[in-house]
Each structure stands twice: as C-alpha cells, then as structure tokens.
C-alpha cells in the first residue's frame, strides 16, 4: 500500500510543462517544395527531415547526399526567425555554412531564413519564405 501512496504523491506533486511552440516541435519529413510561380518539386521519395525542439532546428538527409545542418530559431507569432546555419559536425567544431547552395536541398534560400508558418497541425506543416512554400508531414 505504501508504494501506491508514494506513487500517487509523486504524480500529484509534478506539474506538466507546457510546450511553448505547440505542434511545431517534432520530426518533420519535407515532402514538397513549391514556387510561387506554380512549380512543384516532389521530394517525398527523399529522406529529408527537419527535427524541431526547443530553439533548434536540425535538418538532415537520411540518404547522406547532403550535409546535415543545425540552426537556432525564435518564434514570434507565425514567424520563425532563424539564426546562423551550422554544419552538424561536432568533431570538427560545427563550422558555419557560408554557401547557401549547400542548404538549398532543405528548401532554404538564405543563410538567415525568415519563415512564415502558413499551416500547422499535429500532422502537417506548411512554411513559406523567399518565394518558396515548404510542405511537411510529421513523423
């Protein structure tokens, strides 16, 4: 009986921490990159992912064709303001990315992207920036 009382006491003494970015946190598969002029690039067969947690975004290619990157971000309403972009390479000190061509595979056209959240649910996310619309599915 004592273990049950201890367990109940521990559970009632804990507070649930709210997630400040709601459904934004998670592991997202980049499925399509649309241009505002109407073109669409279907990348659903590629394993390009964005992992979003706390104030970090990690972009990775599970097929290892593109460099993995990490960015800091701040959310302000429906905007995601990204900071510098770094190669996710701890042994070599996470060098800063200086060529936007190295990260364009992730739908990024800037080294300091400012993304707008057009749609966000528990399963889909649509971001737009600099003439592109990025479509994701939550894994």
State the pLDDT at residue 11.
41
Task: Check whether 20 has a pLDDT greater than 80.
Answer: no
State the pLDDT at residue 83.
87
Residue-wise pLDDT tens digits, 91-102: 999 999 999 999
- CB 53, CB 74: distance < 8 Å: no
Residue-wise pLDDT tens digits, 112-123: 999 999 999 999
How sure is the predictor about 12, in pLDDT bands with cuts at 50, 70 and 90?
very low
User: What's this model's pTM, rounded to 2 decimal places?
Assistant: 0.81
- CB 113, CB 126: distance < 8 Å: no
Strand extents, DSSP E, 7-123: 26-35, 40-42, 48-53, 56-61, 69-76, 79-87, 114-120
Which residues 6+ apart lie within 8 Å of 3 measured at CB?
A: none
Q: How far apart are CA 56 and CA 45, in angstroms?
A: 25
How sure is the predictor about 21, in pLDDT bands with cuts at 50, 70 and 90?
low
Nearest by Cα to 68 from 90, 83, 53: 90
Residue-wise pLDDT tens digits, 28-81: 999 999 987 888 999 999 999 999 998 999 999 999 999 999 999 999 999 999
Nearest by Cα to 117 from 131, 135, 138: 135
State the pLDDT at residue 38.
80
| Token code pair at residue 22 | 């709601």
């Amino acid at each position: 009986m004592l273990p049950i009382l201890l367990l109940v006491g521990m559970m009632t003494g804990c507070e649930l921490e709210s997630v400040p970015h709601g459904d934004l946190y998670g592991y997202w598969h980049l499925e399509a990159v649309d241009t505002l002029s109407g073109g669409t690039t279907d990348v659903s067969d590629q394993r390009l992912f964005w992992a979003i947690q706390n104030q970090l975004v990690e972009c990775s290619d599970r097929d290892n064709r593109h460099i993995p990157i990490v960015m800091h971000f701040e959310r302000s309403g429906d905007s995601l303001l990204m900071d510098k972009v770094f190669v996710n390479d701890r042994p070599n000190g996470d060098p800063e990315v200086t060529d936007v061509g190295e990260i364009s595979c992730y739908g990024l056209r800037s080294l300091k992207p400012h993304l707008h959240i057009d749609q966000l649910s528990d399963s889909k996310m649509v971001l737009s920036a600099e003439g592109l619309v990025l479509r994701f599915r939550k894994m």
